[in-house]
A and B are shown apart, each in its own frame.
Chain A
């Protein structure tokens, strides 16, 4: 301290102008700061998913043998609802029509909301089977499956998903409509067919390295 300056080496001025004591103070404070930050990291990291939580997020196999055309089942993967729909040929055909695509915000699925192998009009590997993460991209509610055209959703409704929370609409490929609160299409998880009727949700086909964490919005 300057006011209690005593003659001696610790207070000796170095050519740069600081004292040795200044140097020692700054060095000791810096080391203590680094140490405190290092001690903080284990606490912060302990709040990340634990090993058993990660293990519980492993891929799951779903057998689609008993799924009928026009029917939807919901399975749980990583604590999220996964919609699996077996679309009728008629429903698949409609997905590519200008009548449907004209109402959509992102008809070409340009936003990164699906693996590259599902970036097509049906947003799926096999057009017959739709696989989606059933979480509205607006604020996380679960949209309702409303496959019938018309009804209370208006004459132009061709079937799809309607979110009861804030009225967001998606078509039967999970593509979001214009003028609704949700910004993005429903995400498609990585999946592939293990056999003709069994899919593995959570795992890419052998030729893809799609990272599900890279999607814009879940």
Chain B
């Protein structure tokens, strides 16, 4: 529907460049399922976090110096001398953590309510690409302050590629631009750390375009059957998103102002020293489950543990690309899947366990826990996903969203109340 604006200037522009019609269509009248719950807030929260990271990052870049001799001091200068530099850096630092928190919740919401299923497979796959880009960006950003964890994290992660058969060492040298992690590495990481967020922004555009093609999934996982099942995005979901944003920002600001270093590692306030490895190298918390998988895998037949660990780590994300085809169940929402509803929580527990494994030295029980946790992760997606879809008997689906939310459908919905429903 074309925009009906009273403003002559708006009409003049819109006739030549229908930007207002587009925004009205996508953000105002955009029909949205009327039953979205608060788990659907995290997409817009992630978008807002991306913008916060880009904006604070640009201002940090104005003060930061990407040189091995100057980087650490330039960050300390930001903390001590630059006006509000401490605030901008703490927002950026904690922003990375909170960006991952909202993104992980966003992903688990998709897993629980089957948002990756037909016709949203590509939407999901684009999301996995965004996740990979986020991880690369976060990793390279963590190197920039040139503290001990920056340096040794960069050393460990770039050395992963030495596990590649035949050309591993050449790849690592190429990544470094030298004989070890050094000034060329820092410079290229800085260039890429500045570039990638804008790449992410572009992919987010594709993500939203794919989303708006078929519209949002919803807690019932059934398609909208008519206008009675949807409400316009504005004001209903703009206001819901804004309220969620307010609550989120309160928690975020709590960390920024009262515990800015709770999520960080104190070792990164020690200047990088290429002659001394810290006693424990631990990645940022959001990488812990993947770090655990890297360390957990033993020698498998002719594949050495080193390569196997790297394969497991990258495979754990790569797996998500084919997820829409691993899940054989035609029912989207876990509310109507009596078995998957519980198995979903096993995955959550497994990932929390792997995160704990990643935070501990690989000794004693942690080694066994890491191996079992890694094994379960792959069993969950590669074996349980296809099998549950085949053997599970889903509950009857409601006739329509409208009927379900106005309780005309009665017991079907009430009986399917999942724990996730009440945030």
Q: Which residues of A contact B (CB under 8 A)?
A: 1, 32, 41-43, 45-48, 50-53
Residues in B whose Cβ lies below 8 Å from that of A51: 80-83
Residues in A whose Cβ lies below 8 Å from that of B242: 32
Taking the closest CB of chain B, its distance from the CB of A108, in whole angstroms, is 40
| Proximity string of chain B (139-162) to chain A, C-beta cutoff 8 Å, 1 when within and 0 when not | 000000000000000000000000
Please state if B88 and A42 are interface contacts (CB–CB under 8 Å).
yes
Taking the closest CB of chain B, its distance from the CB of A86, in whole angstroms, is 38
Please state if B84 and A46 are interface contacts (CB–CB under 8 Å).
yes
Please state if B55 and A46 are interface contacts (CB–CB under 8 Å).
no
Taking the closest CB of chain A, its distance from the CB of B175, in whole angstroms, is 32
Some 19 contacts from A to B, beta carbons below 8 A apart, are A1-B235, A32-B242, A42-B87, A42-B88, A43-B55, A43-B56, A45-B84, A46-B59, A46-B63, A46-B82, A46-B83, A46-B85, A46-B88, A47-B62, A48-B83, A50-B85, A51-B82, A51-B83, A52-B80
Taking the closest CB of chain B, its distance from the CB of A53, in whole angstroms, is 7
Residues in A whose Cβ lies below 8 Å from that of B87: 42
Taking the closest CB of chain B, its distance from the CB of A118, in whole angstroms, is 33
Please state if A43 and B235 are interface contacts (CB–CB under 8 Å).
no
Give CA–CA (A1, B62) in the complex, Å.
45
Closest to B249 in A: A35
Please state if A43 and B81 are interface contacts (CB–CB under 8 Å).
no
Please state if B81 and A53 are interface contacts (CB–CB under 8 Å).
yes
Please state if B84 and A42 are interface contacts (CB–CB under 8 Å).
yes
- Give residues of chain B (41-84) contacting chain A, Cβ–Cβ below 8 Å: 55-56, 59, 62-63, 77, 80-84
Give CA–CA (A166, B305) in the complex, Å.
72
Residues in A whose Cβ lies below 8 Å from that of B63: 46, 50
Taking the closest CB of chain B, its distance from the CB of A78, in whole angstroms, is 16
Closest to A54 in B: B81
Give CA–CA (A51, B77) in the complex, Å.
9
Taking the closest CB of chain A, its distance from the CB of B62, in whole angstroms, is 7
Give CA–CA (A4, B171) in the complex, Å.
62
- Give residues of chain B (229-280) contacting chain A, Cβ–Cβ below 8 Å: 235, 242
Residues in B whose Cβ lies below 8 Å from that of A48: 83
Give CA–CA (A51, B59) in the complex, Å.
17
Residues in B whose Cβ lies below 8 Å from that of A45: 83-84
Taking the closest CB of chain A, its distance from the CB of B173, in whole angstroms, is 38
Interface centre among B83, B87, B88, B235 (most CB of A within 10 A): B83
Taking the closest CB of chain A, its distance from the CB of B302, in whole angstroms, is 55
Give CA–CA (A43, B84) in the complex, Å.
7
Give CA–CA (A49, B113) in the complex, Å.
51
Please state if A50 and B235 are interface contacts (CB–CB under 8 Å).
no
Please state if A43 and B88 are interface contacts (CB–CB under 8 Å).
yes
Interface centre among B80, B81, B235 (most CB of A within 10 A): B81
Give CA–CA (A182, B390) in the complex, Å.
85
Given A50-B63, A52-B80, 8 more contacts at CB 8 Å? A1-B235, A42-B84, A43-B56, A46-B62, A46-B83, A47-B62, A50-B77, A52-B77
Give CA–CA (A48, B82) in the complex, Å.
8
Give CA–CA (A43, B85) in the complex, Å.
8
Closest to A52 in B: B81
A-B pairs with the 3 shortest C-beta distances?
A42-B84, A51-B81, A50-B81
Taking the closest CB of chain B, its distance from the CB of A49, in whole angstroms, is 8
Residues in A whose Cβ lies below 8 Å from that of B77: 50, 52
Taking the closest CB of chain B, its distance from the CB of A31, in whole angstroms, is 10
Give CA–CA (A45, B80) in the complex, Å.
14
Taking the closest CB of chain B, its distance from the CB of A190, in whole angstroms, is 24
Give CA–CA (A53, B88) in the complex, Å.
19
Please state if A43 and B59 are interface contacts (CB–CB under 8 Å).
yes
Closest to B83 in A: A45
Give CA–CA (A46, B89) in the complex, Å.
11
Closest to A49 in B: B83
Residues in A whose Cβ lies below 8 Å from that of B83: 42, 45-46, 48, 50-51
Give CA–CA (A41, B59) in the complex, Å.
12
Give CA–CA (A47, B83) in the complex, Å.
8
Interface centre among A32, A42, A46 (most CB of B within 10 A): A46
Residues in B whose Cβ lies below 8 Å from that of A47: 59, 62
Residues in A whose Cβ lies below 8 Å from that of B80: 51-52
Give CA–CA (A52, B242) in the complex, Å.
39
- Picked from A1, A41, A50, the residue with its CB within 8 Å of the CB of B82 is A50
Give CA–CA (A47, B77) in the complex, Å.
13
Closest to B77 in A: A52
Residues in A whose Cβ lies below 8 Å from that of B55: 43
Taking the closest CB of chain A, its distance from the CB of B231, in whole angstroms, is 9
Closest to B55 in A: A43
Closest to A25 in B: B235
Taking the closest CB of chain A, its distance from the CB of B244, in whole angstroms, is 14
Residues in B whose Cβ lies below 8 Å from that of A43: 55-56, 59, 84, 88
Give CA–CA (A42, B257) in the complex, Å.
14
- Give residues of chain B (84-133) contacting chain A, Cβ–Cβ below 8 Å: 84-85, 87-88
Give CA–CA (A36, B116) in the complex, Å.
35
Taking the closest CB of chain A, its distance from the CB of B396, in whole angstroms, is 32
- Give residues of chain B (261-304) contacting chain A, Cβ–Cβ below 8 Å: none
Residues in B whose Cβ lies below 8 Å from that of A53: 81
Taking the closest CB of chain A, its distance from the CB of B180, in whole angstroms, is 31
Taking the closest CB of chain B, its distance from the CB of A46, in whole angstroms, is 5
Closest to A43 in B: B59
Closest to B86 in A: A42
Taking the closest CB of chain A, its distance from the CB of B118, in whole angstroms, is 33
Give CA–CA (A42, B32) in the complex, Å.
37
Give CA–CA (A1, B59) in the complex, Å.
40
